[in-house]
Chain A
Amino acid sequence: MRYFSKKLLGALITLFFASIITFYIFNILPGDPAQVILGIDASEEQLMQLRDTMNLDSSAVYRYISWVGDIVSGDLGISYKYQTQVSTLIADSIKVTLQLSVFSLILTLLIAIPFGLLLVSKRKKKSFIPLSILSQLGMSIPSFCLAIFLIAIFTVKLRILPSIGYVSFFDNPWLNIKSLLLPSLSIAIGASSIVVRYLNTSVQQQLKKDYVRTAYSIGLSERVVLYHQVLRNALIPVITIVGLIIADILGGSIIVENVFSLPGIGKLITSSITSRDLPLIQALVLYLSLIVVCVNFLIDILYKVIDPRIRIK
């Protein structure tokens, strides 16, 4: 219970800092923020109205508190560009991004675990070096390049998967899965290389421990030692990396959604940067960091459930 409350407090503090950073960055605009947002052509009346809605005349602390209050109550104001409630825009796009992230995470684990095991089992053989270079390659290819190459292969040449257009799962589940397959694969290949690397390091560390030497000395085969004993211990730290991977996947989806024109958070962010829709970006940034903090908190809890030996240091 102490572990739980300590982690919860930590997550809340992180969120608090994140909200301050997000709030502050959008408030250090040089000059009159209303003028900067609306541009030089704005009329005095429009400026007054925006200054009023942004509470520019009150203190920064007051504005921060009322902004957080608005966000908690779900009232995020109205987007300049779309002229609709920011909350509806976010609700629509977050569904796409979350589905894409879940798909990418599943694919990441489906690729990373078999490949990681292969890499570990070949660690003393000659084929280890090309395999590890391959995992380095996966980490070094930008997701957008990978996405374009995948489109060239699967859409243009083989004509089996669509490259554009998103279909909701409830309208047509099969098309929905097909339309998300290439985007999630472009994210998953990079993310799985990181997991593979981490798994490999984790196994190497376990192999140096005394229990492994004992296991070998009583005559257990390489196979038994590796899969029955080492792997169990090595997989526990790998769970923590899932938290890091989630951040990576969300970050990757910002770029990949733009390649495939998926109507998710990433697409919304980049289009609102071009149209200088600052309140919308501010809310989106905070929501994405909220997701990362929540997932990390859940993983901390899961970690404790799986391995009760973990204590607060």
Chain B
Amino acid sequence: MKKYFKNANFLFGFIFLTFILLVVLWGFIALPYDINAVNIQERLLPFTKNHLLGTDHLGRDILSRIMVGSRLSLTIGFYVVVFGFLLGTPIGAIAGYFGGFVDETIKKLIDTLMAFPGVLIALMLIAVFGASTKNIIIALTIMSIPRFSRMARGGYYSYKDSPFILATKARGASNFRIMVIHIFPHISGELLVTSSLTFASAVLSEAGLSYLGLGIQPPNPSLGKMVSEAQAYILQKPSYIIVPAIFIIILVMGFNLLGDGINKVIEEAKENE
């Protein structure tokens, strides 16, 4: 663990995410205000003792909305990474391990998914099924599958003919056993890196969709939607837009830095072997 904290990227990522988790936890234990309590008399307040991060254009407490919005971003990111991992990794593993026709087909399917730029797949699904938190998770999961598949494919491909695997095979181990027990531990580090980077991009995509009004739907608050609502008040009260923007950046950057840090430590460990 020590070598991870010596890495600047990991350290910063860890600090950023701890900060977000503390804010979310605080909101979980003691949410200052009802997130949808409108109070027109107290609209667009600056940072005060009662409203630590001020209030928005309807007089709702920004801190409370940030707490719940960050929690939703984290929840969506978590589901996307878990489902993306569970679906993408086996697909990539089979492609890389068995090779041949299976590999070619899966590779082409992954290429196809990558041919839809950015949030396009998500937009397509939302156009058909409508915007909801569940549909966002499904759409972003589909977008994350290629990342895990590509990573797993590369890993299994590079290990499948290594001497220790051939020896295990000669001893009569089944393909399933080799894939799960013998190869998986060697690529779990890389998959952890992919998970962290996928988390970052899921949060980013969700914020973008919510900004367009096609993501998380009211009454649930979301950081992206807060930015779009605050846009009109950028001169009157710049902090209204800056606060949710900073939270998105800290969240995304936290996971990007964490993934990068883990990646560097793994690479260094491999070189030292």
Q: Is B69 in the interface zone, CB < 8 Å from A? A: no
**Contact flag A254-B123 (CB < 8 Å), given A136-B257, A140-B252:** yes
**Contact flag A270-B212 (CB < 8 Å), given A10-B108, A17-B108:** yes
> How long is the Cα–Cα vector from A293 to B120 in the complex, in angstroms?
14
**Contact flag A143-B253 (CB < 8 Å), given A25-B124, A156-B234, A278-B127:** no
Residues of chain A within 8 A of B115, CB atoms compared: 14-15, 18, 247, 289, 292-293, 296
Q: Which of A48-56, A67-75, A144-152, A173-181 contacts B (4 or more CB under 8 A)?
A: A144-152
Q: Is B211 in the interface zone, CB < 8 Å from A? A: yes
**Contact flag A22-B124 (CB < 8 Å), given A10-B108, A148-B241:** yes
Residues of chain B within 8 A of A281, CB atoms compared: 123-124, 127
> Which of A17, A129, A133, A293 has the largest count of B CB atoms less than 10 A from its CB?
A17
Residue of A nearest to B234 (CB): A152
Q: Is A77 in the interface zone, CB < 8 Å from B? A: no
Q: Is B235 in the interface zone, CB < 8 Å from A? A: yes
Q: Is the CB of B211 within 8 A of A136?
A: no
Residues of chain A within 8 A of B123, CB atoms compared: 254, 269-270, 273, 281, 285
Residues of chain B within 8 A of A164, CB atoms compared: none
**Contact flag A285-B227 (CB < 8 Å), given A29-B128, A141-B249, A144-B208:** no
Q: Is the CB of A250 within 8 A of B117?
A: yes
Residue contacts A-B, CB under 8 angstroms, 13 given: A17-B112, A25-B128, A139-B256, A140-B256, A142-B252, A145-B227, A247-B114, A247-B117, A251-B120, A255-B118, A270-B214, A281-B124, A285-B124
> Which of B112, B126, B200, B231 has the largest count of A CB atoms less than 10 A from its CB?
B112
> How long is the Cα–Cα vector from A276 to B128 in the complex, in angstroms?
8
Q: Which of B109-123 contact A (CB under 8 A)?
A: 109, 111-112, 114-120, 123
Q: Is B31 in the interface zone, CB < 8 Å from A? A: no
Q: Is the CB of B116 within 8 A of A140?
A: no
> How long is the Cα–Cα vector from A288 to B121 in the complex, in angstroms?
11
Residue of A nearest to B250 (CB): A140
Taking the closest CB of chain A, its distance from the CB of B236, in whole angstroms, is: 12
Taking the closest CB of chain B, its distance from the CB of A290, in whole angstroms, is: 8
Q: Is B149 in the interface zone, CB < 8 Å from A? A: no
Taking the closest CB of chain B, its distance from the CB of A298, in whole angstroms, is: 14
The range of chain B's interface size is: 35 or more
Taking the closest CB of chain B, its distance from the CB of A58, in whole angstroms, is: 21
Residues of chain A within 8 A of B238, CB atoms compared: 152
> How long is the Cα–Cα vector from A132 to B120 in the complex, in angstroms?
29
Q: Is B125 in the interface zone, CB < 8 Å from A? A: yes
**Contact flag A258-B116 (CB < 8 Å), given A25-B124, A136-B256, A269-B123:** no
Residues of chain B within 8 A of A132, CB atoms compared: 9
Q: Which of B211-231 contact A (CB under 8 A)?
A: 211-214, 224, 227-228, 231
Q: Which of B112, B116, B234, B253 contacts A148 (CB 8 A)?
A: B234
Q: Is the CB of B224 within 8 A of A142?
A: yes
Main secondary structure of the interface of A (DSSP, over half): helix
Taking the closest CB of chain A, its distance from the CB of B235, in whole angstroms, is: 6
Q: Is the CB of B118 within 8 A of A252?
A: yes
Q: Which of A262-291 contact B (CB under 8 A)?
A: 269-270, 272-274, 276, 278, 281, 285, 288-289
Q: A18-B116, A21-B112, A145-B249 are in contact. List 9 more A-B contacts (CB 8 A).
A: A14-B108, A26-B128, A142-B252, A156-B234, A247-B117, A249-B117, A255-B208, A278-B127, A296-B115
Residues of chain A within 8 A of B256, CB atoms compared: 136, 139-140
Q: Is B12 in the interface zone, CB < 8 Å from A? A: yes
Q: Which of A143-167 contact B (CB under 8 A)?
A: 143-145, 148-149, 152, 156
Q: Is A28 in the interface zone, CB < 8 Å from B? A: yes
Q: Is B265 in the interface zone, CB < 8 Å from A? A: no
**Contact flag A289-B214 (CB < 8 Å), given A142-B204, A156-B234, A278-B127:** no
Residue of B nearest to A33 (CB): B128
> How long is the Cα–Cα vector from A145 to B245 in the complex, in angstroms?
6
> Which of A29, A133, A273 has the largest count of B CB atoms less than 10 A from its CB?
A273
Q: Is B61 in the interface zone, CB < 8 Å from A? A: no
Taking the closest CB of chain B, its distance from the CB of A197, in whole angstroms, is: 9
Q: Is the CB of B117 within 8 A of A251?
A: yes
Q: Is A91 in the interface zone, CB < 8 Å from B? A: no
Q: Is the CB of B118 within 8 A of A273?
A: no
Residues of chain A within 8 A of B125, CB atoms compared: 25
Taking the closest CB of chain A, its distance from the CB of B222, in whole angstroms, is: 12
Residues of chain A within 8 A of B212, CB atoms compared: 255, 258, 270
> How long is the Cα–Cα vector from A247 to B249 in the complex, in angstroms?
22
